[in-house]
Amino acid sequence: MFDWLVNLSAILVFDKFGFEKGSHFGEALHFFIYDTIKIFILIIAIIYIVTFLRSYLPVEKVRDYLSGKHKIVGHIFAALFGMTTPFCSCSAIPLFIGFLQARIPLGVTFSYLISAPLGDAVVIAMLFSIFGLKITLFYIGFALLIAICAGLLIGALNLEKEVLIEVKPLNSCCNSIENSQTTLKAKVKESFEYTKDIFKKLYIYVIIGIAIGAFIHGYVPAGFIEKYAGGDVWYAPIVAVVMAVPMYSNAAGILPLIEVLTQKGVLMGTALSFMMAVVAVSLPEAMILRRVISLKLIAIFFGVVTCAIIMAGYIFNYLIG
């Protein structure tokens, strides 16, 4: 989807600026330019589309369907939907914000946010080609289970007051069916103004978060996890996950490293829990979320997901080694 942007960033950094391919700074700068532009595009496009469509869609009916007796169905749907989207943890945030704007229950939005970076069709295909059907099915099952259970738990804590962005009703141009041309113009203008307002509040956090991710991408050595969490020591999954949280990558980008780690003696469960933590909870993601939700909710989100991934690592190691 953004291959053109990857190529454009590479041309700019390595051809125009003259940095050497494979150099720490060159790779970090390439990552920063590409990811910043990509997430800016996603934020503007998704928030605008969701805001505009929300003025037409019966949002209250959608919210009612995804809550109450349909709560678990909503979480399952959100988790399954997340695994169909090709987003990393930071790229998933714009749609997460869109769900908040649509007044989807908070826990359901987190089921999506957790599930989205963990896997898509490309990742599943890569997992299958590298590790086979059994490992792939285990991974998919645990990814969905973590997303659903963590979303249910966060939803049960009634933390809606911890959402920092204002959710506007957009009723001023939704109810009238007279003078449809004027109404459409009003909706377009209001959606644009609202998107601009949200973007102005977010962009500096996006830049800071991606800058941190770019530094990690360019300077953290690939053998870092292998050195401290290899072998079958009991604490390996804990160390792997704690090390992974500050890092930043998508599942497709981290899979080659996972293959190398398992070949070097890291247990499969430890390696996969490391991958899950890298892609599902990251420091850059926290920096971007800081303007959307409170530190308390970020801490709860990271704590719940981190503990769930550590448990998954132990179960992985017990079942498949």
Q: What is the pLDDT of residue 140?
A: 92
Measured from the Cβ of residue 232, the count of other Cβ atoms closer than 10 Å reads: 12
> Residue 123: which of 100, 138, 140, 145 has the closest Cα?
140
pLDDT digits (tens, 9 = 90+) for 104-145: 889 999 999 999 888 767 678 778 877 889 999 999 999 999
Residue type at position 27:
E
Question: Vertex 270, ends 267 and 272: CA angle to 5°?
Answer: 105
Q: What is the pLDDT of residue 226?
A: 64
Give the whole-angstrom CA distance, residue 9 versus residue 29: 9
- Helix, strand or coil, per DSSP, at residue 234: coil
The size of the chain, in residues, is 321
End-to-end CA distance of the chain: give it in Å, rounded: 36
Query: Could you tell me which residues come within 8 angstroms of residue 279 by beta carbon, excluding any fewer than 6 positions away?
Result: 88, 89, 117, 118, 249, 250, 251, 254
Measured from the Cβ of residue 255, the count of other Cβ atoms closer than 10 Å reads: 21
In this prediction, residue 279 has a pLDDT band, given cuts at 50, 70 and 90, of confident
Average pLDDT over residues 284-311: 91
For 249: left if phi > 0, alpha if psi spans -120 to 50, otherwise beta; the answer is beta
pTM: 0.70
Average pLDDT over residues 279-288: 82
